[in-house]
């Protein structure tokens, strides 16, 4: 076989977008192979140019692959890890894009052979439409991309996944799996439930026929996540129940706080809305937090295939090693609870 092979399993919005970004990078000596349970997804991915080739069986898809990207919902990651464990070539790098990482890392440890490196990933990107037809090579540009290496992942594997993140134009963030699940529960998993609950509550009101014509951009934006793939939304809640319930309980308490202010304390209500507006302005401007330390990886697309061999990074390796060390220190030194426990 000429060059290196990267396999994307799951050709939906995320898998398709990764394929398009890899193809757009014009990497020499690299073949992008795709696989999906749905024949139509494979045909669409080929038509859109998201993959060079589609393989109908997992065996053929995974054979000789240097890197395997699992772009499926969390519970499907588990099934795939079991299925591909014996098919993976020695030294293969496996990564995923699932929204929860604790269970995924435990499954990888349980199912994958020691000769394989697992480096979990989670791009903080998405949009209302789903499927490879909605795929976009720029979907990840400027977005955070959580990188969660298994303890036994080789340095070369971690660097290769960093290279992938770089090609996608995303910003890699090293993070511990359980920490990831708590933090992302706050900003993504619990909000999915809030968004779906807002929609089902209003949609199932007997007055829906009167209400619907009045709806505007606010209702549409806030209920956007109710349109998410139900498998994914279900799997997220099922694989991170502690995180979701923890933040749901806090959200309910926060809604009660606002409720009390509306009933009893309009001055404080105004102060709360004012502070929120100012703080969100600072959040959008990025002025409420230190400048993020960017992980430097090569930006030229053609270095991706070099990356797969792990034979690069000389100056840059120092920065990378410093980041890894900081992450290790942090995960040793601190609990995974994202808050002071006051509402736990």
- Strand pairing category for 53-54 and 144-149: unpaired
Alpha-carbon distance of 287 to 99, in angstroms, equals 27
Q: Which of 207, 287, 311, 314 binds a second copy (CB under 8 A)?
A: 207
- Least Å from the CB of residue 331 to a second copy: 12
With CB under 8 A as the contact rule, the residue among 133, 269, 298, 310 that binds a second copy is 269
Tokens 């060079």 -> residue: 52
Strands 93-96 and 117-123: parallel
The binder of a second copy chosen from 47, 110, 292, 325 (CB under 8 A)? 292
Which of these ranges, 16-24, 63-71, 84-92, 254-262, lies near a second copy under the rule CB under 8 A?
Answer: 254-262
Residues 94-133, one symbol each (x = binds a second copy by CB under 8 A, - = not), give ------------------------------xxxx------
Interaction of residue 239 with a second copy, rule CB under 8 A: no
Under the criterion CB under 8 A, does residue 187 sit at the interface with a second copy?
yes
The nearer residue to a second copy, 151 or 290, going by C-beta atoms, is 290
From residue 132, alpha-carbon distances to 8, 63, 74, 200 in Å are 12, 23, 18, 27
How far is residue 240's CA from residue 42's CA, in Å, rounded to a whole number?
Answer: 30
Question: Are the CB atoms for 215 and 224 separated by under 8 Å?
Answer: no
x/- site string to a second copy, residues 39 to 78, per CB under 8 A?
----------------------------------------
- What does R_g of the chain's alpha carbons equal in angstroms? 22
Q: Which of these segments, 51-59, 111-119, 259-267, 310-318, binds a second copy (CB under 8 A)?
A: 259-267
Q: Quick one: which of 86, 221, 321, 328 contacts a second copy (CB under 8 A)?
A: 221
Rounded CA-CA distance 76/229 in Å is 13
* 317 touches a second copy by CB under 8 A: no
Q: Is the alpha carbon torsion for 326, 327, 328, 333 positive or negative? A: positive
Report the phi/psi class of residue 117: left, alpha or beta, with left for phi > 0 and alpha for psi in -120 to 50: beta
Among 37, 79, 212, 300, binds a second copy (CB under 8 A): 212
Query: In 71-214, where does DSSP find H-type helix?
Result: 74-84, 102-111, 155-168, 177-184, 190-203, 208-211
Q: How far is the CB of 146 from a second copy (least distance, A)?
A: 7
Q: How far is the CB of 121 from a second copy (least distance, A)?
A: 13
Judged by CB under 8 A, does residue 312 bind a second copy? no
Q: CB under 8 A: which stretch of 7-15, 84-92, 169-177, 321-329 binds a second copy?
A: 169-177
| Shorter beta-carbon distance to a second copy: residue 61 or 173 | 173
Whole-angstrom distance, CA of residue 107 vs CA of residue 158? 18
Q: Is 320 in the site for a second copy (CB under 8 A)?
A: no
Please pick, from the candidates 91, 205, 317, 321, the single residue that binds a second copy as defined by CB under 8 A: 205
Non-local CB neighbours of 167 within 8 Å, separated by 6+ positions:
21, 22, 25, 27, 301, 304
3-state secondary structure of 112: coil
3-state class (DSSP) for residue 172: strand
Quick one: which of 1, 90, 114, 289 contacts a second copy (CB under 8 A)?
289
Size, binding site for a second copy by CB under 8 A: 100
**Pattern 128-147, binding to a second copy, x per CB under 8 A?**
---------------xx-x-
* Shortest CB 144 distance to a second copy, Å: 5
Stretch that binds a second copy, among 2-10, 104-112, 252-260, 300-308 (CB under 8 A): 252-260
> Exposed, middle or buried by CB within 10 Å (0-12, 13-18, 19+), for 340?
exposed
């Amino acid at each position: 076989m000429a060059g290196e092979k990267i396999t994307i399993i799951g050709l939906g919005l995320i898998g398709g977008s990764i394929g398009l970004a890899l193809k757009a990078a014009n990497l020499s000596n690299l073949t992008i192979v795709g696989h999906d349970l749905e024949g139509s997804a494979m045909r669409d991915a080929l038509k859109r140019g998201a993959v060079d080739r589609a393989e109908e069986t997992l065996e053929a898809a995974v054979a000789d692959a240097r890197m395997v990207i699992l772009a499926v919902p969390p519970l499907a990651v588990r099934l795939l890890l079991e299925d591909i464990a014996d098919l993976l070539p020695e030294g293969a790098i496996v990564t995923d894009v699932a929204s929860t990482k604790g269970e995924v890392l435990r499954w990888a440890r349980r199912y994958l052979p020691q000769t394989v490196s697992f480096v979990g990933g989670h791009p903080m990107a998405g949009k209302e439409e789903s499927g490879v037809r909605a795929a976009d090579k720029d979907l990840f540009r400027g977005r955070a991309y959580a990188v969660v290496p298994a303890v036994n992942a080789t340095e070369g594997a971690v660097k290769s996944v960093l290279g992938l993140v770089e090609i996608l134009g995303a910003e890699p963030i090293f993070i511990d799996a359980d920490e990831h699940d708590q933090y992302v529960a706050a900003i993504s998993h619990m909000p999915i439930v809030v968004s779906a609950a807002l929609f089902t509550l209003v949609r199932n009101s007997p007055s829906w026929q009167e209400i619907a014509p009045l709806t505007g951009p606010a209702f549409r934006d806030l209920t956007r996540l109710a349109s998410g793939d139900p498998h994914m939304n279900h799997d997220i809640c099922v694989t991170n129940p502690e995180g979701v319930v923890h933040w749901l309980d806090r959200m309910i308490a926060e809604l009660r706080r606002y409720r009390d202010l509306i009933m009893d304390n309009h001055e404080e209500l105004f102060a709360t809305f004012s502070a929120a507006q100012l703080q969100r302005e600072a959040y959008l401007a990025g002025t409420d937090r230190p400048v993020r330390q960017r992980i430097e990886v090569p930006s030229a697309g053609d270095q991706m295939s070099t990356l797969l061999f792990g034979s690069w990074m000389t100056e840059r390796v120092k920065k990378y090693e410093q980041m890894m060390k900081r992450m290790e220190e942090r995960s040793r030194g601190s609990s995974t609870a994202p808050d002071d426990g006051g509402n736990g």
